[in-house]
Amino acid sequence: MPDVRALRDAFAERYGIHPRLIVRAPGRVNLIGEHTDYNEGFVLPIAIDRSTFVAARARTDRIVRVYSAQFAAEDVFSLDQIERNPDQPWSNYVRGMVKGLLARDLPLVGSDLLIDSDVPLGGGLSSSAALEVATGYALQLLNNADLLGEELALLAQGAENSFVGMQCGIMDQFMATLGRAGHALLLDCRDLSYRAIPIPPDVRVVVCDSGVRHSLLGSAYNERRAACQEAVRLLRTRLPKITALRDVSPEQLAANADLLPPAVLPRARHVVSEIRRTLMAAAALERGDLAAFGTLMLESHRSLRDDYEVSVPELDTLVELARALPGCYGSRLTGGGFGGSTVSLVAVGAVEDFAAGLVAGYRERLGLDAHVLVCTASEGVSRAATF
| 30 membership: H or E segment, kind and range | strand 21-30
For position 124 contacting ligand ADP by CB under 6 A, the verdict is yes
For position 337 contacting ligand ADP by CB under 6 A, the verdict is no
Name the residue nearer to ligand ADP (CB basis): 175 or 272. 175
Binding segment for ligand ADP (CB under 6 A), chosen from 114-122, 181-189, 235-243, 285-293, is 114-122
For position 244 contacting ligand ADP by CB under 6 A, the verdict is no
Q: Region of 269 please: left (phi>0), alpha (psi -120 to 50) or beta.
A: alpha
d(C-alpha 196, C-alpha 122), whole Å:
27
Burial of 369: CB neighbours in 10 Å, binned 0-12, 13-18, 19+? exposed
Which amino acid would we find at residue 108? L
Residue 89's binding partner among Mg ion, ligand ADP, none (Cβ under 5 to 8 angstroms by kind) is ligand ADP
3-state SS, residue 101: helix
173 neighbors 313 (Cβ within 8 angstroms): no
For position 84 contacting ligand ADP by CB under 6 A, the verdict is no
Burial of 219: CB neighbours in 10 Å, binned 0-12, 13-18, 19+? exposed
For position 157 contacting ligand ADP by CB under 6 A, the verdict is no
Catalytic residue among 37, 75, 172, 247: 172
**Among residues 39, 111, 117, 167, the one that binds ligand ADP under rule CB under 6 A:** 117
**Among residues 49, 58, 71, 302, the one that binds ligand ADP under rule CB under 6 A:** 71
User: Angle, to 10 degrees, between the axis of helix 127-142 and the axis of helix 171-178?
Assistant: 50
For position 38 contacting ligand ADP by CB under 6 A, the verdict is no
Q: How far is CA 115 from the centre of its chain?
A: 18
User: Angle, to 10 degrees, between the axis of helix 91-103 and the axis of helix 149-158?
Assistant: 120
**Among residues 127, 278, 334, 378, the one that binds ligand ADP under rule CB under 6 A:** 127
Interface mask (CB under 6 A) for ligand ADP, residues 291-330, using x and -? ----------------------------------------
Name the residue nearer to ligand ADP (CB basis): 42 or 338. 338
At its nearest, how many Å lie between Mg ion and the CB of residue 38?
A: 13
Q: Is 258 among the residues known to form the active site?
A: no
Assign 3-state DSSP to the chain and report helix, strand, coil percentages, each to 5. Answer: 45, 25, 35
Question: What residues numbered 91-130 form the site for Mg ion, per CB under 5 A?
Answer: 126, 128
The closest alpha carbon to 221, from 161, 300, 143, belongs to 161
For position 15 contacting ligand ADP by CB under 6 A, the verdict is no
At its nearest, how many Å lie between ligand ADP and the CB of residue 371?
A: 14
Name the residue nearer to Mg ion (CB basis): 93 or 293. 93
d(C-alpha 77, C-alpha 137), whole Å:
19
Residues that bind ligand ADP (CB under 6 A): 52, 68, 70-71, 89-90, 93, 115, 117, 121-128, 131, 335
Residues that bind Mg ion (CB under 5 A): 126, 128
Just list the catalytic residues. Answer: 172
